[in-house]
């Protein structure tokens, strides 16, 4: 059987979608409408009881959840794609940045902006929660900006960390949050990658694509 990829367009699963395409894999994509609550339906909970995306059901029928776990598995399973660097020092740097993007930029910053209601039962507090989310996003990207100084990617070539950074950079574009210089250059650079361009077209974001090599 083909692998089955459960995803939501324009979400964190976009980063995994990019990695699947970078690996040249054949898979079946199943959109999960988070706004409609598809993640809480019995058939999906039977696959992923966490009610989260992304989920990757592998060819043996077992499911992987969580961005980092899926990305790590893809990198280790398809080493010829070089989604991890060769040295231990660079590998831990890749893990450091990937986890920071997922756990902090996304998990502490953007969740306050996108799922404000989870942080307070009082609607009067929503703007304060969102403002704190914006502060976290700006503070964390300032740190990543220093990491990317003088670099095209997190390390010498594209890795799973760059896919994680891309989806949070993509969200800043959606929300019109200015990125610092090195992060913006990283985002524009990734927009030129064939796998990224294919994924954005498939997910309905072709309007974000610049002419290739522009």
Which residues sit opposite 5 in a β-bridge? 29, 56
Question: Token pair of 195, please?
Answer: 């796998």
pLDDT single digits (tens) 9-64 = 999 999 999 999 999 999 999 999 999 999 999 999 999 999 999 999 999 999 99
Question: Token pair of 144, please?
Answer: 């990543």
Question: Token pair of 31, please?
Answer: 């959109």
Number of domains composing the chain: 2
Query: What does the alpha-carbon distance between residue 57 and residue 44 come to, in Å, rounded to a whole number?
Result: 12
CA dihedral (117, 120, 121, 126) positive or negative: negative
* 54, 96: one domain: no
Output phi, psi for 63, to 5 deg. -105, 140
**Residue 210 — very low, low, confident or very high, per pLDDT cuts 50/70/90?**
low
pTM of the model: 0.95
CA dihedral (203, 66, 82, 77) positive or negative: negative
Q: CATH number for the domain including 136?
A: 1.20.1050.10
Among residues 81, 97, 128, the one where a domain terminates is 81
Asked whether the predicted pLDDT for residue 214 surpasses 50, the reply is: no
Domain that includes residue 114, residue range: 88-202
pLDDT single digits (tens) 131-158 = 999 999 999 999 999 999 999 999 999 9
* 151, 135: one domain: yes
Asked whether the predicted pLDDT for residue 119 surpasses 80, the reply is: yes
Query: What does the alpha-carbon distance between residue 5 and residue 150 come to, in Å, rounded to a whole number?
Result: 35
Q: Across the chain, where does the E strand assignment appear?
A: 3-7, 27-31, 55-57, 63-65
CA distances 153 to 1, 54, 194, 214, Å, are: 34, 24, 16, 19
Three-state secondary structure call for residue 180: coil
The stretch 121-129 carries a mean pLDDT of 97
* 11, 69: one domain: yes
């Amino acid at each position: 059987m083909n692998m089955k990829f459960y995803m939501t367009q324009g979400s964190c699963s976009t980063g995994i979608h990019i990695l699947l395409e970078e690996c040249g894999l054949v898979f079946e994509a199943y959109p999960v409408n988070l706004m409609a609550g598809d993640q809480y339906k019995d058939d999906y909970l039977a696959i992923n009881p966490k009610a989260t995306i992304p989920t990757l059901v592998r060819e043996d029928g077992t499911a992987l959840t969580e961005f980092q776990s899926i990305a790590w598995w893809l990198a280790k399973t398809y080493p010829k794609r070089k989604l991890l660097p060769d040295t231990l020092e660079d590998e831990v740097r890749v893990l450091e940045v990937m986890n920071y993007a997922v756990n902090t930029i996304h998990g502490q910053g953007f969740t306050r902006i996108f799922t404000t209601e989870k942080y307070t039962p009082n609607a009067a507090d929503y703007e304060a929660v969102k403002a704190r989310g914006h502060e976290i996003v700006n503070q964390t990207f300032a740190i990543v900006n220093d990491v990317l100084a003088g670099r095209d990617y997190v390390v010498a070539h594209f890795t799973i960390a760059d896919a994680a950074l891309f989806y949070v950079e993509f969200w800043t574009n959606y929300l019109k949050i200015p990125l610092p210089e090195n992060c913006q250059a990283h985002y524009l650079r990734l927009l030129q990658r064939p796998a990224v361009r294919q994924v954005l077209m498939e997910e309905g974001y072709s309007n974000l694509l610049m002419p290739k090599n522009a």
